[in-house]
Amino acid sequence: MSDTAPAHQDTAAPTTGSPVARPAGEPAAGGPGTPAAGEPAAKEPRTRDAGEPARRRSVVRSLLRLWPYVRPVRVRLFGAAVVAIVASSVSLLIPLVLKWLVDGPVADRDPGGVWLGGALLLGLGIAEAALFGFRRWLVARPLAGVEATMRADLYRHLQRLPVSFHDRWPSGQLLSRATTDLMLLRTFLAFPLTFLVVNGATIILGFAILLDQRWQLGLVLLCPVVPLVVLCSYFESRYSAAARLSQDQAGDLTTVVEEGVLGIRIIKGFGQHRSQERAFRTLSRRLRTTELRKAGLLATLWALIMTLPELAIGAALLLGTVQVADGDLSAGTLVAFLSTALALRWPVESIGFLLAISQDSATATDRYFEVMDAPAADAADTITAAGTADAVSPDAAPTAGTAAPTAGATGSSAATAGTTRPAGPPAVTAGTAGLRFEGVVFRYADAPPDEPPVLRGVDLHIRPGESMALVGATGSGKTTLTALVPRLHEVTAGRITVDGRDITSLDRGELRSLVAVAFEEPTLFSATAGENVLMGAEGAGPEDLERALAVAQAGFVHTLPQGTGTQVGEQGLSLSGGQRQRLALARAVVGRPRYLVLDDPLSALDVHTEALVEAALREVLASTTALIVAHRPSTVLLADRVALLSGGRIAAVGTHQQLLRENAEYRLLMSGHQPEAPDGTAPATPSGPLRDPEEDADR
Ligand SMILES: Nc1ncnc2c1ncn2[C@@H]1O[C@H](COP(=O)(O)OP(=O)(O)OP(=O)(O)O)[C@@H](O)[C@H]1O
User: What is the spatial distance between Cα 272 and Cα 36, in angstroms, rounded to a whole number?
Assistant: 7
User: What is the spatial distance between Cα 378 and Cα 518, in angstroms, rounded to a whole number?
Assistant: 22
Residue 274 C-alpha to ligand 1 middle, in angstroms? 29
Burial 554-592 (b: 16+ CB within 10 A, else e): bebbeebeeebebbbbeebeebebbbbbbbbbbbbbbbb
Q: What averages of pLDDT result for each successive group of 10 residues across the chain (699 residues)?
A: 34 31 32 34 39 58 91 89 86 82 80 86 89 86 89 90 83 86 89 84 85 84 82 80 86 82 71 79 90 88 82 88 85 83 81 84 91 74 32 32 33 34 39 84 86 92 91 90 89 91 86 82 82 84 86 85 82 71 85 85 66 74 86 84 92 91 88 55 38 40
Residue 454 C-alpha to ligand 1 middle, in angstroms? 8
- Is the shortest distance between the CB of 480 and ligand 1 below 6 Å? yes
* Radius of gyration, CA atoms only, the chain: 35
- Is the shortest distance between the CB of 16 and ligand 1 below 6 Å? no
The Cα-based distances of 219 to 156, 327, 630, 670 in angstroms read 55, 20, 83, 90
CB 436 within 8 A of CB 460: yes
CA atoms within 13 A on the CB side of 554: 32
pLDDT tens track for 236-255: 778 888 888 888 888 888 88
Residue 661 C-alpha to ligand 1 middle, in angstroms? 28
SS3 of residue 676 by DSSP:
coil
- Is the shortest distance between the CB of 648 and ligand 1 below 6 Å? no
User: What is the spatial distance between Cα 681 and Cα 329, in angstroms, rounded to a whole number?
Assistant: 91
User: What is the spatial distance between Cα 13 and Cα 16, in angstroms, rounded to a whole number?
Assistant: 9
User: What is the spatial distance between Cα 461 and Cα 469, in angstroms, rounded to a whole number?
Assistant: 12
Nearest atom in ligand 1 to 447's CA: 4
Length in residues, the chain:
699
Residue bearing the CA closest to ligand 1, atom 31: 475
Residue 44 C-alpha to ligand 1 middle, in angstroms? 20
SS3 of residue 520 by DSSP:
coil
Q: Which of 10, 441, 470, 480 is the pocket-test mutation for ligand 1 (most atoms within 8 Å of CB)? A: 480
Q: Which long-range contacts (CB under 8 A, 24 or more apart) does 532-536 make?
A: 532/568, 532/569, 532/583, 532/587, 533/564, 533/583, 533/586, 533/587, 533/590, 534/587, 534/590, 535/587, 536/586, 536/587, 536/588, 536/589, 536/590, 536/591
- Whole-structure pTM value: 0.61
Residue bearing the CA closest to ligand 1, atom 7: 444
At 557, the amino acid letter reads V
CA 531 to chain centre: 24
Q: Which residues contact 653 (CB under 8 A, 6 or more apart)?
A: 401, 402, 403, 460, 641, 642, 643, 644, 691, 696, 698, 699
- Is the shortest distance between the CB of 167 and ligand 1 below 6 Å? yes
- Is the shortest distance between the CB of 21 and ligand 1 below 6 Å? no
Q: Which residues contact 121 (CB under 8 A, 6 or more apart)?
A: 94, 97, 98, 101
Q: Which residues contact 36 (CB under 8 A, 6 or more apart)?
A: 27, 29, 263, 266, 270, 272
The CA-based dihedral angle spanning residues 609, 613, 614, 620, taken in that order and rounded to the nearest 10 degrees? 170
Q: Which of 476, 489, 673, 681 is the pocket-test mutation for ligand 1 (most atoms within 8 Å of CB)? A: 476
Q: Which of 458, 479, 646 is the pocket-test mutation for ligand 1 (most atoms within 8 Å of CB)? A: 479
Residue 688 C-alpha to ligand 1 middle, in angstroms? 26
Within a 10 A sphere around the Cβ of 271, how many other Cβ atoms? 9
- Is the shortest distance between the CB of 479 and ligand 1 below 6 Å? yes
SS3 of residue 454 by DSSP:
coil
User: What is the spatial distance between Cα 659 and Cα 663, in angstroms, rounded to a whole number?
Assistant: 5
Q: What angle do CA 239, 343, 196 make, to 5 degrees?
A: 35
Residue 514 C-alpha to ligand 1 middle, in angstroms? 25
- Is the shortest distance between the CB of 532 and ligand 1 below 6 Å? no
Residue 675 C-alpha to ligand 1 middle, in angstroms? 15
**Residue-range domains of the chain with CATH:** 2-6+78-378 (1.20.1560.10), 407-422+432-520+595-695 (3.40.50.300)
Residue 447 C-alpha to ligand 1 middle, in angstroms? 11
User: What is the spatial distance between Cα 543 and Cα 50, in angstroms, rounded to a whole number?
Assistant: 47
Residue 241 C-alpha to ligand 1 middle, in angstroms? 37
Residue 670 C-alpha to ligand 1 middle, in angstroms? 20
SS3 of residue 18 by DSSP:
coil
User: What is the spatial distance between Cα 462 and Cα 694, in angstroms, rounded to a whole number?
Assistant: 17
CA-closest candidate to residue 424, choices 540, 539, 514: 514
Q: Which of 16, 167, 444, 517 is the pocket-test mutation for ligand 1 (most atoms within 8 Å of CB)? A: 444
User: What is the spatial distance between Cα 417 and Cα 467, in angstroms, rounded to a whole number?
Assistant: 11
- DSSP H helices in 522-663: 529-534, 542-551, 577-589, 607-621, 633-636, 656-662
CA-closest candidate to residue 490, choices 165, 170, 14, 155: 165
CB 491 within 8 A of CB 440: yes
- Is the shortest distance between the CB of 12 and ligand 1 below 6 Å? yes
Residue 561 C-alpha to ligand 1 middle, in angstroms? 39
Q: Which of 165, 478, 603 is the pocket-test mutation for ligand 1 (most atoms within 8 Å of CB)? A: 478
At 507, the amino acid letter reads D
- Is the shortest distance between the CB of 676 and ligand 1 below 6 Å? no
Residue 127 C-alpha to ligand 1 middle, in angstroms? 68
Residue 292 C-alpha to ligand 1 middle, in angstroms? 41
Tell how strand 595-599 and strand 625-629 pair up.
parallel
Q: Which residues contact 680 (CB under 8 A, 6 or more apart)?
A: 451, 452, 454, 475, 476, 477, 648
Residue 444 C-alpha to ligand 1 middle, in angstroms? 9
Nearest atom in ligand 1 to 631's CA: 25
CB 70 within 8 A of CB 186: no
- Is the shortest distance between the CB of 452 and ligand 1 below 6 Å? no
The Cα-based distances of 309 to 185, 325, 340, 401, 422 in angstroms read 30, 24, 13, 89, 79
Nearest atom in ligand 1 to 481's CA: 18
- Is the shortest distance between the CB of 477 and ligand 1 below 6 Å? yes
pLDDT score of 149: 92
Residue 481 C-alpha to ligand 1 middle, in angstroms? 10
- Is the shortest distance between the CB of 475 and ligand 1 below 6 Å? yes
End-to-end Cα distance, the chain: 53
Nearest atom in ligand 1 to 680's CA: 29
- Is the shortest distance between the CB of 680 and ligand 1 below 6 Å? yes
pLDDT score of 439: 93
User: What is the spatial distance between Cα 642 and Cα 657, in angstroms, rounded to a whole number?
Assistant: 10
ipTM, two decimals: 0.96
pLDDT tens track for 648-698: 999 999 999 999 888 889 888 887 655 554 444 444 333 333 333 333 444
The string of DSSP codes covering 308-372 is HHHHHHHHHHHHHHHHHHTTSS-HHHHHHHHHHHHHTHHHHHHHHHHHHHHHHHHHHHHHHHHHH
Residue bearing the CA closest to ligand 1, atom 10: 444
Residue 477 C-alpha to ligand 1 middle, in angstroms? 5
Element containing residue 468 per DSSP (H, E): strand 467-472
At 320, the amino acid letter reads G
